[in-house]
Chain A
Amino acid sequence: MKYLFGFLTLLTVLIWLAVFASPSGNLHLVACNVGEGDAILAVFRNFQILVDGGPNSRVLDCLSRHLPFWDREIEVVVLTHPDKDHYGGLIEVFKRYQVDNFLSNGLDAGTLAYEVLEKEVGGKGIREAAAKKGTRVRVGEIYLDILSPEEAKKEAESNDNSLVIDLKYGNFEAVLTGDAPKEILNKISVNVPLDYLKLSHHGSKTGTDAFTLANFMPKLVVISVGKNNYGHPNEEVLKILEEGKIKTLRTDEKGDIEVTSDGKRFWIQK
């Protein structure tokens, strides 16, 4: 009797927790605070897309914060390019979540850690696909359009092969740039002004200059960055952003940055 009472109490609390954890009917775009690296999570109802996984398992904490606790399925994981600060955390993600699709630029890092990742993807039977310019993915009501590269080349710099992703939900549009160089970004054309730009390469000057910002005319710029020895984000880049009076948020200052959109307008979640 006592046990039954305890069991029912737990069940009731569980149901209440589940109710409170249920996602809303809006799009939530979260730049995870994973230190120096990238991990961007898009959540729409029960659908999730994770773009890059940061350098280590810190991405798991972000997933725990923004996914309902019972949801162990991530519909799409995208790796923009196989650098450690983008794929490192994905190994644990593949181990712990049921990932349905894995999208990458088709190249591999040639490191021991990346071998572990490939084994995990292969062993779980996750659907794999290589993406390039023109690839389109639909998840729920979210569309991903790949804007670059034309063709990933083994002999090119890893960042040159970085996938650039145009994420659309209704009229809301975000460009996730990975570590793509400004030479590539400056040639891309999207609808301007753009709602959301994930600044390339943690705010490095290799990824952004005045032309880049003029090209996208972003309403909001997000920099995914942590403690590092490269001088990210670059002083000059920050100065251009300030001069342009562009609203800029940094993960090393704000933690997870969550933007919500109903498909018409968007706002920053406090």
Chain B
Amino acid sequence: MKIKNYIIWLVLFLLVIFRYFSTRPIFRDGDLIRVASRVSAEPVQYTNARRLILAGLKIYLPKYPEVGYGDRVVIEGVVAGGQLKKPRLISVEREGGILFRLRQRLIAFYRFVLPEPHASLVAGIVLGSKSQISESFWQSLKNSGAAHVVVASGMNVTFVAGFLIAVLALYLPRKKALIPAVIGIWLYAVLSGFEAPIIRAAAMTTLAFWAQAVGKVSFAWEILLFSALVMLAVKPSWLNDTGFILTYVATSSLMLFSGRIKRLFGFLPKATVFFNEGLITSLAAQIGVAPILFVTFGQFNLFSPLINALILWTVPLIMIIGAIGGIVGLVVPVVGRLILLIVYPLTWWFTMIISI
């Protein structure tokens, strides 16, 4: 490796440290503050409240009036132990960009056409939206180790990237197809909630495409580390974000183990290829992720790789049919509705498997 490379890494690393210490909040407990900010991630929903994190503070608001991803809010309250207590919502402005509105309208359409928990499942898989997932469904998702499917996860980006490249390559030479594909991936990242796992996957895909375009040999590990450092330099608070940690551990774990596990499971019949891939992938990811899940959520399901193997094959199908049905539905609701009904057998299978 050349000296220049070392310097780039060092500078990036120092930048993360500098940013970490310079962006720590300056208010103390007991301060009465007013936060004016855009809601940069989807609020977590509880039965009678919703939680958002603004300026590093947890804020619990009542269910109505609604506050969602992309809204501009002004909230007043008292700082206490990382929380903004007695929050008062002073204003909420829904003037989001076109992408935010598209997202909201898609989710509303899914909810109008499909019953729960199927609507939440489709909204979660297509757009990473976990708002309004009912507590009981969320619990069975977590228990079965399938929650990663409905929260914004890197898998979505991988599907989108694969889909875009496949479609664009029909009309453009591969090298030229990369640029619109990258734009598409980032549009999707904003559309699907712009959370750490999505950004991780989008950044890594972008770097990999860039390496392809300039003809560099790319090293997966370098890309992994580089994207992590850039993300932390931009937003140091991700260091405490479970999603951020999980996505990087899962990816590393996949890179380390999936090759080996694939060899180990060489005896599986070819006919069940859908099942095999899901099993191998989730086994490889679980090795790294399981301990973290156990520590943070206190749970671990031994059968989780098996459950994942049974359902993962439905995810790309739900994503494609769900996306097409949703977009068509915004123009011609009746047709979109018919397309979305095709998804029902898949979501039915999915919900049945995880509730066993």
- Interface residues, chain A, CB within 8 Å of chain B? 7, 10-11, 13-14, 17, 55-58, 60-61, 63-64, 67, 69-70, 72, 91-92, 95-98, 112-113, 116
Contacts and interface: CB of A to CB of B under 8 A. Distances in A.
Contacts of B9: none
Contacts of B119: 96
Contact of A116 (B65, B111, B137): B65
B116 interface: yes
Given A14-B344, A70-B341, A112-B64, A58 B111 contact: no
B134 A96 contact: no
B32 interface: no
8 closest A-B pairs (Cβ-Cβ)?
A64-B115, A13-B345, A113-B64, A60-B116, A96-B111, A116-B64, A64-B116, A56-B47
A contact face: mostly helix, strand, loop, or mixed = helix
Interface in B46-62: 47-48, 62
Contacts of B136: 61
A55 B46 CA distance: 13
B113 interface: yes
A31 to B, nearest CB: 18
B64 A17 contact: no
B65 A69 contact: no
Given A63-B115, A64-B115, A96-B112, 5 more contacts: A10-B346, A57-B132, A57-B134, A58-B134, A116-B66
A97 B344 CA distance: 17
B17 interface: no
Interface string B115-132: 111110000000000001
B117 A64 contact: yes
Interface string B95-124: 000000000000010011111111100000
A14 B345 contact: yes
A60 B132 CA distance: 10
A70 B114 CA distance: 7
B113 A56 contact: no
B348 A17 contact: yes
A58 B47 CA distance: 8
Contacts of A7: 342
Contact of A14 (B62, B64, B134, B342): B342
Nearest to B115: A64
A10 B113 CA distance: 18
Contacts of A58: 47, 134
B65 A112 contact: yes
B24 interface: no
Contacts of A10: 342, 345-346
A115 to B, nearest CB: 8
A67 B345 contact: no
A17 B344 contact: yes
A113 B66 CA distance: 9
28 contacts: A10-B345, A10-B346, A11-B342, A14-B341, A14-B342, A14-B344, A14-B345, A56-B47, A56-B63, A57-B134, A58-B47, A58-B134, A61-B116, A61-B137, A63-B115, A63-B116, A64-B115, A64-B116, A64-B117, A67-B115, A69-B344, A72-B113, A91-B64, A95-B111, A96-B111, A98-B112, A112-B65, A113-B62
A92 B115 CA distance: 12
Q: Number of contact residues on B: which range applies?
A: 20 to 34
A226 to B, nearest CB: 11
A72 B118 CA distance: 13
Nearest to B110: A96
A187 B259 CA distance: 77
Interface in B298-356: 341-342, 344-346, 348
B170 to A, nearest CB: 16
B349 to A, nearest CB: 8
Interface string B138-157: 00000000000000000000
A72 B112 contact: yes
A60 B118 contact: no
B64 A55 contact: no
A96 B115 CA distance: 8
Nearest to A70: B341
Contacts of A69: 114-115, 118, 344
Interface string B234-261: 0000000000000000000000000000
A56 B341 contact: no
Contact of B48 (A13, A55, A98, A112): A55
Contacts of B341: 14, 70
Contacts of B345: 10, 13-14, 17
B329 to A, nearest CB: 13
A93 B341 CA distance: 20
Nearest to B136: A61
A255 to B, nearest CB: 11
Contacts of B132: 57, 92
A60 B108 contact: no
B47 to A, nearest CB: 5
Contacts of B63: 56, 113
Nearest to B120: A60
A253 B111 CA distance: 30
B335 to A, nearest CB: 15
A7 B108 CA distance: 26
B71 to A, nearest CB: 15
A72 B119 CA distance: 12
Given A56-B48, A116-B64, A61 B134 contact: yes
Given A57-B134, A64-B117, A95 B108 contact: yes
Contacts of A95: 108, 111-112
